[in-house]
Amino acid sequence: MKAFWDPVQQRHAPKFFLQRGQIRPNLEIPARAEALLQAARKLKLDIVSPGTAERSAFETVHSPAYLDFLRDMPSLWANQPDHGPEAVANIHPSPEMFGNGARLPTGIIGQIGWYTADTSCPIGPHTYTAAAAAASCALAAADEVAAGRHAYALCRPPGHHAYPARAGGHCYLNNAALAAQRLRDAGADRVAVLDLDSHHGNGTQSVFWSRADVLYVSIHGDPNNYYPWYVGHAHERGGGRGFGCNLNLPLARGADDTDWLEALDHAMAAIRSFGTDALVVSLGFDASVFEPLQFLAVSSDAFARAGAIIAAGRFKSAIVQEGGYATDQIGELLRCFLSAF
């Protein structure tokens, strides 16, 4: 099986992370990818750098103005007086502002708030290059699946919190959504995205919200007490023609292997009954019991069982890396999952 990876991804090394009113070191660090890469080597995966895709490939999900923003912001930021090392917003437009005709400002402080959902997506000089390289890995994995082979995309930064025109939660370009769209464009009639990251993939849900051709299924911590806080509830079933093509399976804090695997059985049943032609797995490891900001309590063994359960569905699968911040454990979790898969 091929694993797609580009060393350029490591040039994104965010520092800023705001947690409970304190500035702490960002957890989405290059060492994560090093750990996963080492595991991929041990598994004897065929590690390939696909090169960066054409910009038009990113525009299948993301708006041109947003892509320009990510690309151009670092040099604009560098011209700000007394600026920090990374562009981080200190304001976001509120629903009331949108209700009163809010528009994208010309000033860059307002633009950063417009194009980011939170403070967890600092934009540095190499963020766009790295995110584009990560997204290209997901696209390459989708091409493998379209050719009839499973593939793993070692995406860093991750993607599932990114909207078509908004970054958030360590994510800038939505790797899994790009892969799913690529599979649709390659002729798969029905694509499912199975999101195992412990956070709800609000970006991916939004991309496909009104679509009947892509099923989004997510198993994650209850958003009442966990990022992304406002969405990820069971009642969110999709809109318009997409109604019924969105399935959220939130779990309470401390949910264990039994709860998580039961939700996975439920998810796989939905994916089978959707008539899925190709599968994208948003594989986060932050449901693990080892996670530094732990919410769920899933063991390494359960990640192996998940790999086997998904493989039993016999869908050609693009496995796209999402979160997981226990840097000393995620390599082993990848090994457990992919060995069983």
Q: Which residues bind Zn ion (CB under 5 A)?
A: 197, 199, 284, 286, 323
Give the integer Cα–Cα distance in Å for 80 and 208: 37
How far apart are the two ends of the chain, measured CA to CA in Å? 11
Nearer to Zn ion, 118 or 197 (CB): 197
Nearer to Zn ion, 31 or 212 (CB): 31
Tokens describing residue 276? 């899925």
Closest separation in Å from C-beta 197 to Zn ion: 4
Q: Which residues contact 212 (CB under 8 A, 6 or more apart)?
A: 241, 242, 245
Closest separation in Å from C-beta 271 to Zn ion: 20
- Tell me which residue of 264, 274, 272, 117 sits closest to 195, measured CA to CA: 264
Closest separation in Å from C-beta 208 to Zn ion: 19
Q: Do residues 240 and 272 lie in contact, with contact meaning Cβ atoms separated by under 8 Å?
A: no
Nearer to Zn ion, 223 or 323 (CB): 323
Closest separation in Å from C-beta 18 to Zn ion: 16
Residue 266 known to be catalytic: no
Nearer to Zn ion, 27 or 57 (CB): 27
Closest separation in Å from C-beta 232 to Zn ion: 11
Nearer to Zn ion, 228 or 238 (CB): 228
Closest separation in Å from C-beta 114 to Zn ion: 24
Closest separation in Å from C-beta 198 to Zn ion: 5
Give the integer Cα–Cα distance in Å for 90 and 327: 29
Nearer to Zn ion, 124 or 284 (CB): 284
Nearer to Zn ion, 50 or 169 (CB): 169
Catalytic residue among 12, 62, 160, 161: 161
Greatest C-alpha distance within the chain: 57
User: What are the residue numbers of the active site?
Assistant: 161
